[in-house]
Amino acid sequence: MSDIDLVRKIGQGDKQALTAFYHGYRDIMLRLALSLAVDVNLAEDIVHDVLLSIVRSARHIKLKTSLKSYLAASIANRARTLLRDSKRLELMGENHDLDVNTGQIYQPDQWLILTESIRQLRDAMAQLPYEQREAVNLHIQGEMTFRQIADLQGESTNTVQGRYRYGLKKLRALLIKSEVKQ
């Protein structure tokens, strides 16, 4: 079923379409929300709000890009709003649980290494300025083009590309610094 058909059927109240949508996009939305909010509870709130919004307004949604890009933009907008309204931006990055669904079975020693790597990446992402974190996550996880991100952020494509480039550069430096400490 195409994205347009899926959204249309959700707008018509089709429960099977809603179930397919939820199972098809839940993990993608949660990963993106978590990477932007860096707080599990806040990420779940963001996804919940976006899901409700989709259900309520599916009849009025006009997809200009893919549904995944639309959802990424919705998640980013909601994350930005919640972070601004709750003043959590300065408080993020402290000991949050992270649920990793990799679909692979790891030995205990492999799991420890993977968990530590994820923690280091999460901690490094939390140290990025929000605009850089958003640009990196929307481009990598949301699979949005720089032009789409620029439109969403109300910035030029060059500004978004700079945020992305500086974000990756800072991430590399933070991760190298983290490795040296060990």
Q: Report the distance separating Cα 12 and Cα 34, nearest Å.
A: 30
Whole-prediction pTM value? 0.63
Residue 177: per-residue pLDDT: 83
Residue 68: per-residue pLDDT: 87
In this predicted structure, the answer to whether residue 99 has a pLDDT above a threshold of 70 is no
